[in-house]
Amino acid sequence: MAAANYDLTIDQGTTFAIDITINEAGSIKDLSGYSARAQMRSTKTATSVAASFTCTVLSPATQGKVKMELAPATTSGMTAGVYFYDLEIFTSGDNIVKRLIEGKVTLNQEVTR
C-alpha cells in the first residue's frame, strides 16, 4: 500500500500538533508494539533533517492514533518556506516499517516574535 498524501501548513513560532487515526483495510489499525517517527527535509533527497516531529502512539494503542508535534522553538529556528515530510510506524529493530503518509509542509513566516 502506498503512503497517503496529506499536506500540512504550520505557522512559524507556534505549537503544532495533529492526531492521525490509522486505518488499514477499512479497520482501525492496532498499534500495539509500534512506535512512530516523522521528519521534515528541504527536499525529499536532502541529507540533513530540517526538523523531527515528536511522535507518540496514543493510549490505548488499539485505537490506532498517532500524535505528531513540533515545538514553537523548533519552527522559530527554521526558514519559512516549503518542506517535505513523511510519517512511519515501526517495530523494535525496524523489523516492520510502514510509511503511512507523506506530503508538503508550508511553514508560514511569523511576524510577532
Burial (CB count <10 Å: 0-12, 13-18, 19+), residue 5 = exposed
pLDDT at 1: 67
Amino acid at 76: S
Rounded distance between C-alpha atoms, residue 10 and residue 36, angstroms: 20
Alpha-carbon 75 to chain mean position: 14
Q: What is the pLDDT of residues 72-93, one digit of tens each?
A: 999 999 999 999 999 999 999 9
Amino acid at 44: K
Mean pLDDT, all residues of the chain: 95
Rounded distance between C-alpha atoms, residue 27 and residue 42, angstroms: 34
pLDDT at 70: 97
Rounded distance between C-alpha atoms, residue 39 and residue 41, angstroms: 7
DSSP symbol at 10? E
The CATH number of 4-108 is 2.60.40.10
- Ranges of each domain in the chain: 4-108
